[in-house]
Amino acid sequence: SQKIEQNSEALNIQEGKTATLTCNYTNYSPAYLQWYRQDPGRGPVFLLLIRENEKEKRKERLKVTFDTTLKQSLFHITASQPADSATYLCALDVTNTGNQFYFGTGTSLTVIP
Amino acid sequence: GAVVSQHPSWVICKSGTSVKIECRSLDFQATTMFWYRQFPKQSLMLMATSNEGSKATYEQGVEKDKFLINHASLTLSTLTVTSAHPEDSSFYICSASWSNTEAFFGQGTRLTVV
């Protein structure tokens, strides 16, 4: 069956460290992969998009990699801060239309001061 | 970024009644809108995709007669939960898109059926 799995339900790290979140998928060949942040009781907020022909994308303290051979994306937050605490979702464009996404299971990140 | 507004942000209704949720794109014309539901501590599940002026496309397992979607204009889509039951209680989120690379999400609607 088709799955989009993120490494763990919850991840706790110390402030200042780098948080690394994993998104693994099977049976898809997405043209796009996106990462979103979701705070409790709110809708997701777009963070980064990476295309299948891009290996890496950066935005300020965020970095995303996309390995289509491994069917995996890694999401890094460097110099993490307590304000980074949230749930992070990866989303795959499974129909290759560019805007129809299936979401991963999500990882709840807590940055400890 | 573009703004998508959902209304209401929360609603409580009695079992058996119908509830309408609105999703508006405030500063752009959305050719496509999506509706998701999210149960506590779970991820977003795509319910349906709607294009302006045409019938919505529902995901497998989503009852189209229960979750009525109308996308009458480029800035408004509505989701009506008909004959709501307690198991329909959930967080409903819409997203809107005009491009092929990004969708913008509303703030969500918390539905509680009592």
pLDDT along chain A (113 residues), means of 10: 77 96 88 90 90 92 95 96 96 72 90 96
Count other Cβ atoms within 10 Å, centred on residue A40.
7
Residue A40, preceding peptide bond in cis (omega within 30° of 0) = no
Cα A4 to Cα A36, A87, B18, B21: the distances in Å are: 14, 15, 33, 28
| CA pair distance B75, B91, nearest whole angstrom | 21
Residues of B in contact with A44 (CB under 8 A): 44, 93, 105
| CA pair distance B97, B68, nearest whole angstrom | 20
**B7 Cα to chain A: minimum distance (Å):** 13
What pLDDT does B102 receive? 72
**A80 Cα to chain B: minimum distance (Å):** 23
Nearest by Cα to B92 from B28, B8, B14:
B8
Q: Which residue has the tokens 């009458």?
A: B72
What pLDDT does B79 receive? 97
What pLDDT does B40 receive? 84
**Beta carbons of B102 and A49 less than 8 Å apart:** yes
What residues are paired with A90 via a beta bridge?
Answer: A35
Residues of B in contact with A45 (CB under 8 A): 105
Average pLDDT, chain B: 91
Distance of CA B10 to the CA centre of its chain: 13
Selected residue with higher pLDDT from B9 and A32: B9
| CA pair distance B16, B13, nearest whole angstrom | 9
What pLDDT does B1 receive? 66
Q: Give the sign of the dihedral formed by CA A22, CA A65, CA B47, CA B15.
A: positive
**Beta carbons of B101 and A98 less than 8 Å apart:** yes
**Beta carbons of A42 and B107 less than 8 Å apart:** yes
What pLDDT does B37 receive? 95
Selected residue with higher pLDDT from B41 and B102: B41
Interface residue of B9, B43, B100, B101 to substitute, partner A, most A CBs within 10 Å: B43
**Beta carbons of A43 and B6 less than 8 Å apart:** yes
What pLDDT does B72 receive? 82
Q: Under 8 Å CB-to-CB from B35, ≥6 apart: which residues?
A: B23, B46, B47, B48, B50, B67, B69, B77, B79, B92, B93, B94
- Sort strands A107-112 and A86-93 into parallel, antiparallel or unpaired: antiparallel
| CA pair distance B31, A16, nearest whole angstrom | 42
pLDDT tens per residue, range B32-73: 899 999 988 888 999 999 888 888 999 999 999 999 999 888
| CA pair distance A104, B47, nearest whole angstrom | 15
